Structure 1
Amino acid sequence: MAVFERLLEKINNKEAVIGVVGLGYVGLPLAVEKAKSGYKVIGFDVQDSRVKQVNDGINYIGDVINEELSEIVKSGQLEATTDYARITEVDAVAICVPTPLDIYQQPDTSYVESSAKEIAKYAHEGMLVVLESTTYPGTTEEIVKPALEDRGFVTGETIFIAYSPERVDPGNKDFNTKNTPKVVGGITETCTKVAAALYRHVLEGEVHEVSSPAVAEMEKIFENTFRHINIALANEMAVLCERMGIDVWEVIDAAKTKPYGFMAFYPGPGLGGHCIPIDPFYLTWKAREYNYHTRLIELAGEINNAMPEFVVDRSMKILNEDAKALNGANIVILGVAYKRDIDDVRESPVLDIISQMKKAGANITVIDSFVPSFKIGGEILETVGLDQAILENADLVLITTDHTTVDYQFVANHSKVIFDTRNTLKGIEKPNKYIKL
């Protein structure tokens, strides 16, 4: 029996042991789903604290159900380790490590590189290696493939390599790791087939096969760039509508009544999270290799990155209307997470807003029940609960994250002035002075 057929048989019979490298927002939910589907799963992470939490059945990711994690750990279906030598035990491994930008806005693939090298040290014949981290087209073949082939493996014959982008949308109530369609592109046809077979046994969503890792890598970048650019358009419309005295939210509501040719995107205080503010710049960087300048992507980045400053400037104008300065003003920030109903502050535009306001001398109080504390620079700031006295003492209440767990009528009843960057108070009674982005 060929190497490919033996691995496929193990996958189909659920005798394969699956490894997941990186137990963060992408890796842990994936590890849980693979374990729930009947595979023995070993999670790998460099952080001792994460490994201990997983092995104790303690959840730290919002999209994972606490009881499910506890149950699969107790049953022995999932365990975690910092020991990469245990890669020898697995038949397939998914790489789910961060791919941030460095200080020069260039891709930092060091986590992918180190993971590929560690896996290569302990890889064996008949193993599947799938990269899931969002990255520029070419990464799988430029980084993962050489690391394994330098050990003497032949891709598509003795080792199988593919790319399948993560599509995690934290806080989404309808779509999660289990039911979101999956795209898979292998270096060879056999690589694609074996990777797709594994995902079909694990996930409920469609598994869509493409011709190469580069197509799958570009597909993920395209998804996030699409959102990046359309949000920039919505933000630019918000800035223009404010100057023209037009309600941009009403404009969008009217536009989306058209049943074709329009998809609603909404403005906000800026972009956050690990994907949309970062991933398009992977493509911008890679495009330079082909002597192409991605002007639209970079312009969209400029517009989105300018939104925190726009919010601060409007806040100053709102205060000035009441003969108050930002310096010395009591500002309540309602929400620091980058999007609703999650605890993630990575790249949150609210951090920039708070930093600018504190630098201007404002007294900042942050309310966010999902985020007990967060760091700006070297300073750790604590959040507080929703409190009538805090709201009544505020010169301005700034709604920056529209968590659905907040009693916004209570906020409206006890606030003198509200600046709402998310159109959160739509449909409820508002205070005398209510301003929307």
Structure 2
Amino acid sequence: MMYDTVIVGGFGHVGLPLAISLANKGQKVCAFDINREVGDLIEKGQMPFIEYGAEEILKEVINRQLFLSYDPKVIKETNTVIVIIGTPVDQHLNPELDPIIKLIHDYLDYFHDEQLIVLRSTVYPGTTEKVKNWFHQYGKKVDVAFCPERIAEGYAMEELQKLPQIISSFSDKGLERCRELFQLLTDDIICLEPIEAELSKLFTNVWRYIKFATSNQFFMIANNHNVDFYRILHAMTYNYKRAEDFASPGFAAGPCLFKDSMQLAAFNNNNFFLGHSAMLINEGLPNYIVSKLKEKHPLHSMTAGILGMAFKANIDDKRESLSYKLKKILMFESKCVLCSDSYIEDEKFVDHDTLISQSDIVILGVPHTQYKTITIPKGKIVVDIWNFWGNGSVV
């Protein structure tokens, strides 16, 4: 075979760091994708998004151990295929299996007997078994596995080797092949049944989402009574181990947490009040901030500036960022909205100095490190639900 591993969806936030890491461990890897613009950057040794520590290794492995392709025929040229395609939710918040079904249908002829097919993205529980059944129905004698990614975006290069890898398959042979693959990254391997592995990934993401919702709800309760929640949080957590993992308030967003909460709700026949409540709290935070500003200020005659538009700090990913939801609400409620971000390029954005000087209200959308030393003139209304500048968080 030409390649040790082919990664389908290999140019994205999950696939590319994995491809680079496996190539760095000596595997001959092919990243297959259809985005030629992104592929051109990767060919030059440039990361198309922020992933700390990745670009240095990419420059070393590209066209040596790591190769790119836009032709699905490369799937034929390996015994191990890693598929980076998950199950999103549709406009009705139901799981959408069409992307995986389409991939199997479109590329079926390129898969061959004895391949190991690893699903890596988060999927709706039971999807791995369905994929196995689909392949077997079409006469493909393949081992199908689910080995979920567990990385925090931006820190994959460290975490792929630092965190335990969860593996699962439907046969001892498939499980052993998964073990051999992921032991290239770490010896810390956890073996589960596929349904257990699928739920473990969903439970992990939803647990984080619920923790953020708890903090955001407490923040709102305190704020409704003009109390700075961070004084309470300090008292709760200082030298008190039972509360040391309590999350800080802030926008809980991105491409995973909300989606996975809704997938888990659908899996449990929409009997998931805790998850739905978390969604209402987290997704409602931008509107809560605007409603509080309206109570205290003539918002309709004021310019609001949102400082930071990415979905979390120190990355350039804007997918599902609640800063954009905040922007939409403010565009309706305020005179003008200005946006800025240290990492996201947008011709409609202004630099942060312009935003601060021209805004009556400065709202910290995400606490990028670069903003720590910013000085905001007296007289400006500052909304810092993160307490990033240490001046409290009352809105």
What TM bracket, shorter-length normalisation?
A: over 0.9
Q: Which amino acid aligns with 1:354?
A: K
- State the match for 1:279 in structure 2: 260
- State the match for 1:403 in structure 2: 368
Q: Which amino acid aligns with 2:254?
A: G
* Gapped regions of structure 1 (runs ≥ 5): 1-9, 374-380
Aligned equivalent of 1:193, options 176, 183, 202:
176
In structure 2, how many angstroms separate the alpha carbons of the residues matched to 1:258 and 1:37?
42
Superposed displacement of residue 420, structure 1:
0.6
Q: Specify whether residues 302 and 207 from structure 1 end up closer, same or farther in structure 2 by C-alpha distance, changes over 3 A only.
A: same
1:393 maps to 2:352: no
Aligned equivalent of 1:25, options 8, 13, 21:
13
Q: How does 1:23-422 map to 2 (within 5 A)?
A: 23-63=11-51, 65-75=54-64, 77-142=65-130, 144-154=131-141, 159-172=142-155, 175-201=158-184, 203-204=185-186, 206-210=188-192, 212-256=193-237, 257-260=239-242, 263-268=245-250, 270-288=251-269, 293-318=271-296, 320=297, 325-373=298-346, 382-387=348-353, 390-406=355-371, 408-413=372-377, 416-422=380-386
CA contact (8 A) 2:383 2:393 kept: yes
Superposed displacement of residue 413, structure 1:
4.3
Q: Which amino acid aligns with 2:182?
A: Y
In structure 2, how many angstroms separate the alpha carbons of the residues matched to 1:205 and 1:242?
47
Q: Specify whether residues 114 and 183 from structure 1 end up closer, same or farther in structure 2 by C-alpha distance, changes over 3 A only.
A: same
Deviations 1:333-390 (A, max 9, x none): 11011110001111111111101111224311112111112xxxxxxx6222221x54
Q: Specify whether residues 105 and 360 from structure 1 end up closer, same or farther in structure 2 by C-alpha distance, changes over 3 A only.
A: same
In structure 1, how many angstroms separate the alpha carbons of the residues matched to 2:393 and 2:212?
20
Deviations 1:222-252 (A, max 9, x none): 0011011111111110111112332212222
CA contact (8 A) 2:7 2:30 kept: yes
Deviations 1:136-165 (A, max 9, x none): 2100111x21232123234xxxx2211011
In structure 1, how many angstroms separate the alpha carbons of the residues matched to 2:176 and 2:20?
23
Superposed displacement of residue 172, structure 1:
4.2
Q: Which amino acid aligns with 2:75?
A: I
Superposed displacement of residue 109, structure 1:
2.2
* Gapped regions of structure 2 (runs ≥ 5): none
TM-score after normalising by structure 2: 0.93
Q: Specify whether residues 55 and 110 from structure 1 end up closer, same or farther in structure 2 by C-alpha distance, changes over 3 A only.
A: farther
Deviations 1:91-137 (A, max 9, x none): 10111124321111111222222233345321223211000111121
In structure 1, how many angstroms separate the alpha carbons of the residues matched to 2:315 and 2:217?
26
CA contact (8 A) 1:391 1:414 kept: no
Q: Which amino acid aligns with 2:43?
A: N
In structure 1, how many angstroms separate the alpha carbons of the residues matched to 2:25 and 2:327?
43
In structure 2, how many angstroms separate the alpha carbons of the residues matched to 1:36 and 1:214?
31
Q: Specify whether residues 326 and 205 from structure 1 end up closer, same or farther in structure 2 by C-alpha distance, changes over 3 A only.
A: farther
Q: Specify whether residues 219 and 415 from structure 1 end up closer, same or farther in structure 2 by C-alpha distance, changes over 3 A only.
A: farther
Q: Which amino acid aligns with 1:293?
A: N
In structure 2, how many angstroms separate the alpha carbons of the residues matched to 1:84 and 1:414?
58
TM-score after normalising by structure 1: 0.84
CA contact (8 A) 1:62 1:342 kept: yes
Superposed displacement of residue 168, structure 1:
2.0
Q: Specify whether residues 172 and 84 from structure 1 end up closer, same or farther in structure 2 by C-alpha distance, changes over 3 A only.
A: closer
CA contact (8 A) 1:224 1:280 kept: yes
In structure 2, how many angstroms separate the alpha carbons of the residues matched to 1:20 and 1:272?
27
CA contact (8 A) 1:335 1:400 kept: yes
Size of the alignment, in residue pairs? Answer: 392
CA contact (8 A) 2:212 2:249 kept: yes
Identity within the alignment, %: 26
Superposed displacement of residue 71, structure 1:
2.1
What's the secondary structure of 2:143's corresponding residue?
A: strand
Superposed displacement of residue 435, structure 1:
4.7
CA contact (8 A) 1:392 1:416 kept: no
In structure 2, how many angstroms separate the alpha carbons of the residues matched to 1:414 and 1:383?
24
In structure 2, how many angstroms separate the alpha carbons of the residues matched to 1:134 and 1:226?
15
In structure 1, how many angstroms separate the alpha carbons of the residues matched to 2:29 and 2:316?
26
Superposed displacement of residue 412, structure 1:
2.9
In structure 2, how many angstroms separate the alpha carbons of the residues matched to 1:148 and 1:390?
54
Q: Specify whether residues 369 and 262 from structure 1 end up closer, same or farther in structure 2 by C-alpha distance, changes over 3 A only.
A: closer
In structure 1, how many angstroms separate the alpha carbons of the residues matched to 2:226 and 2:32?
54
